[in-house]
Amino acid sequence: MKPARTKTPRKPLVKKGSQTSLKDPVGVYCRVRPLSFPDQERCIEVINSTTVQLHTPEGYRFNRNGDYKETQYSFKQVFGTHTTQKELFAVVANPLVDDLIHGKNGLLFTYGVTGSGKTHTMTGSPGEGGLLPRCLDMIFNSIGSFQAKRYVFKSNDRNSMDIQCELDALLERQKREATPNPKTPFSKRQVDPEFADMINVQEFCKAEEVDEDSVYGVFVSYIEIYNNYIYDLLEEVLFDPIKPKWNSCSTPMRNTDFVPPQSKLLREDKNHNMYVAGCTEVEVKSTEEAFEVFWRGQKKRRIANTHLNRESSRSHSVFNIRLAQAPLDADGNSVLQEKEQITISQLSLVDLAGSERTNRTKAEGNRLREAGNINQSLMTLRTCMEVLRENQMYGTNKMVPYRDSKLTHLFKNYFDGEGKVRMIVCVNPKAEDYEESLQVMRFAEVTQEVEVARPVDKAICGLTPGRRFRNQARAGPVGDEPLVTEVVLQSFPPLPPCEILDINDEQTLPRLIEALEKRHHLRQMMTEEFNKQSITFKALLQEFDNTVLNKENYVQGKLNEKEKVISGQKLEIERLEKKNKTLEYKIDILEKTTTIYEEDKRNLQQELETQNQKLQRQFSDKRRLEARLQGMVTETTMKWEKECERRVAAKQLEMQNKLWVKDEKLKQLKAIVTEPKTEKPERPSRERDREKVTQRSVSPSPVPNVPPIRLRHRRSRSAGDRWVDHKPASNVQTETVMQPHVPHAITVSVANEKALAKCEKYMLTHQELASDGEIETKLIKGDVYKTRGGGQSVQFTDIETLKQESPTGRKRRSSSGAPVQPDGTESEWTDVETRCSVAVEMKAGSQLGPGYQHHAQPKRKKP
């Protein structure tokens, strides 16, 4: 059920259940005009009596990527191309005219694209009158014999009517006839042949149940809304021959030039109805006279030749028919002189200007400005309809923008419940008007969803009905029926001649006396008979009075019983009404509660969906984080496993080397202890040592098959790997015998990703100044690993140090208390470092950072 429309605050509140609370939708009808040429492409097809189908034309589909769309629109009734004006009038306009005669307002307007047949539908053509002449014909056919004399009703400037007696009306008629206006139509004038065929309606149409005890007066006015200004088409522009008119260039105009009329203003009367102030209103007495007034204003209406229509209306025209109705007095002879008893109803026939697209009409200058104002007013009308529909469907209280346009402001009372509203949508089925027809169909679809309150029936005056013809019948046959006294005198015997010519005449008087006695006797007999009949009639009358009294008592008793029953029913009705109001109040509360709960439900559902989405995102992030952490844990685990294995191997190697060194020292100590002491030998010189190659006693390795010696030669093991030999540009070339050399190496001065991607090993050559002033070269080695991100990383494994010392400071002793050989030379194991090149290898995990392990290697003898 659609919510009730919110009423204007100024209107009095109406109790629920009254007639004004009933609403009817706006009646929207569709009329399809015939095509100009039979072979034209159509975009509108009539499906049935209430449905039309709008489909995309071929050229439009080609321009719109081949989209084909069919849309059906429903109306109250659809009139095809073969519909006559009579059929259209009988369905659409006849009920509005009937309501007009019964005191109700009505609005009928035609809407559509330019060239769709709106003016033809409203005005008609020669031989086939439109809705306007047919409405006038029906009005005068219905009230023709009940019309008041001219000027009995007199319109004023306050949108109401004054009433005057027939004498004042006669004086005003004589005054007007004394100064006739040649342009003022009269009923006796000959009909203009220009429009004679339009008003020659063959069908006799008349309203039913016309109030015969009232008199009627018909007033017409004709206005146009041009560029959002209101002009009176019936206004006569007077020219002053003495005072010249001045144009915009400050030069006088000739009296023959056309002076445009002044625009009119909209006002609001005491009943809050809108009207055009100062508008000319003409009282008409026949269809011919009314249509002549219309035709005179039609000639002043603004039309122009456009690209789409040879006679295109450039303004909205409004033809108003006002019907004044006043009851007769109690005698039924004259109009009741009470202004409050006057009923005024109005029928507005509106011919809207056609909506158009300027790129199709090729409009320029004034035509372009006119088209813009026309489209703006039609857009305002559509906006008002949309707001009304929204307020009624959703219970909102938005302000309807009636004042944005003079068209909507003038007819706002109809949409507030002051009368019926009917719209005829005129469409042209040709394919070129597809887009315009689509917009018209959408507007019609919105309009027929708007509901308008039913108008209130007129109040009854309270006088006896049928008084007009009853008084006429009473005044007609009075002189035809003989009186009772004449009948009685004719029943008496005739009197003899009473003229006495002779003094001796003795017969005339006796005959006269005899006749008079007979008459007296007859009179006495008639009196007795009358008395007897009177007594009998009195008895009958008394009996009748008793019977009537008994019947009245019986009827009164029945009425009392009925009144008791009615009182009980009224009490029951009041109880049911109270119960109904209580239930309605509860229903309203439940509806509001339901609305609140539904709103809470929607909010909770939205919140639940939001939380679910948030949880899903968190779950996805958690899974990605778990996968990432799992990869990091796996990578870290593998890294530390390798590191642990490497450290264990390095520790084992370190312990084996320490054991081997200790074992070697013990063996040398044992040899020193067991050998006989001799004289202290002289220390051989460096040159002699070089010439003499003494084979050092080598004790077996403490751990057989352990590769301490093999681990010393890393170059041989890594000979098959590719190396990145990183030598900075600042390195100094030394002249040492031992030079770092790695085969299959890529030598770079700056480390880069391209070189690391091709190799498995990495070596950095680093030089620094030692404490004794010599250059110390360090070879920092590492393994190249591929990262998860697609790059490379280097993990350093050990460091080799190459150092060159001065000969004066190369002698070192491992212990100050070492025994001296008898021949004066030191023992062989104490001079290992002086006779060998120093090879220092750094192992990862040592306490000192780089852990130094010394390995004595016998020098090779040069060949």
Please report which confidence band the pLDDT of residue 305 belongs to, taking 50, 70 and 90 as the band edges.
low
C-alpha distances in angstroms, 325 versus 282, 334, 529? 16, 13, 56
Paired tokens of 387: 């707001």
- Asked which of 636-640, 714-718, 801-805 is least confident by mean pLDDT, the reply is 714-718
**Positions of E strands within 280-393:** 282-284, 303-304, 312-313, 316-327, 343-351
3-state class (DSSP) for residue 739: coil
Average pLDDT, the chain: 77
More confident residue, 834 or 641: 641
**Positions of E strands within 80-152:** 106-112, 124-125, 128-129
The number of residues making up the chain comes to 863
Please report which confidence band the pLDDT of residue 460 belongs to, taking 50, 70 and 90 as the band edges.
low
396-412, pLDDT tens digit by residue? Answer: 889 999 999 999 999 99
Would you state the pLDDT for residue 616?
93
- Asked which of 45-59, 299-313, 805-819 is least confident by mean pLDDT, the reply is 805-819
Among 478, 467, 464, residue whose Cα is nearest residue 334: 467
386 CB burial (10 A radius; 0-12, 13-18, 19+): middle
Paired tokens of 115: 């060239």
Distance from C-alpha of 261 to C-alpha of 238, rounded to nearest angstrom: 10
More confident residue, 846 or 147: 147
Sheet holding 70-74, edge to edge: 44-48, 51-55, 70-74
Please report which confidence band the pLDDT of residue 8 belongs to, taking 50, 70 and 90 as the band edges.
very low
Predicted confidence (pLDDT) at residue 9 exceeds the cutoff of 50 = no
- Asked which of 336-340, 398-402, 553-557 is least confident by mean pLDDT, the reply is 336-340
Q: Do residues 76 and 50 lie in contact, with contact meaning Cβ atoms separated by under 8 Å? A: yes
Which residues neighbour 430 within 8 Å (Cβ) at sequence distance 6 or greater? 35, 36, 40, 41, 42, 43
Which amino acid is residue 491, in one-letter code? S
C-alpha distances in angstroms, 37 versus 64, 245, 299, 429, 438? 26, 49, 29, 11, 22
Would you state the pLDDT for residue 239?
43
One-character DSSP codes across 507-549: SHHHHHHHHHHHHHHHHHHHHHHHHHHHHHHHHHHHHHHHHHH
3-state class (DSSP) for residue 42: strand
289 CB burial (10 A radius; 0-12, 13-18, 19+): buried
3-state class (DSSP) for residue 316: strand
Give 806-810's long-range contacts (Cβ < 8 A, gap of 24+): 806/772, 806/774, 807/686, 809/772, 810/834
CA angle in degrees (0–180, nearest 5) for 574-578-583: 145
- Tell the residue number behind the tokens 């909209």, with chain if given: 266
Paired tokens of 237: 């522009």
C-alpha distances in angstroms, 484 versus 481, 492, 495, 534? 10, 13, 20, 16
Predicted confidence (pLDDT) at residue 359 exceeds the cutoff of 70 = no
Q: Do residues 14 and 455 lie in contact, with contact meaning Cβ atoms separated by under 8 Å? A: no
Distance from C-alpha of 837 to C-alpha of 859, rounded to nearest angstrom: 8
Predicted confidence (pLDDT) at residue 423 exceeds the cutoff of 80 = yes
Q: What is the number of other CB atoms lying within 10 angstroms of the CB of residue 454? A: 16
More confident residue, 29 or 784: 29
Predicted confidence (pLDDT) at residue 847 exceeds the cutoff of 80 = no
CB hemisphere CA count around 280 (13 angstroms): 20
Predicted confidence (pLDDT) at residue 337 exceeds the cutoff of 60 = yes
Paired tokens of 345: 């109803």
- Taking residues 284-312, what's their average pLDDT? 77
Please report which confidence band the pLDDT of residue 7 belongs to, taking 50, 70 and 90 as the band edges.
very low
506 CB burial (10 A radius; 0-12, 13-18, 19+): exposed
Paired tokens of 303: 């039309």
Burial 70-88 (b: 16+ CB within 10 A, else e): eeebebbbbbeeebebeeb
Predicted confidence (pLDDT) at residue 715 exceeds the cutoff of 60 = no
More confident residue, 227 or 824: 227
Paired tokens of 629: 């952490």
Paired tokens of 301: 């209406």
Please report which confidence band the pLDDT of residue 456 belongs to, taking 50, 70 and 90 as the band edges.
confident
Please report which confidence band the pLDDT of residue 23 belongs to, taking 50, 70 and 90 as the band edges.
confident
- Taking residues 139-151, what's their average pLDDT? 90
C-alpha distances in angstroms, 692 versus 614, 679, 685? 86, 21, 10
Would you state the pLDDT for residue 1?
43
Distance from C-alpha of 149 to C-alpha of 230, rounded to nearest angstrom: 31
Paired tokens of 591: 């509806």
Among 273, 255, 369, 368, residue whose Cα is nearest residue 322: 273
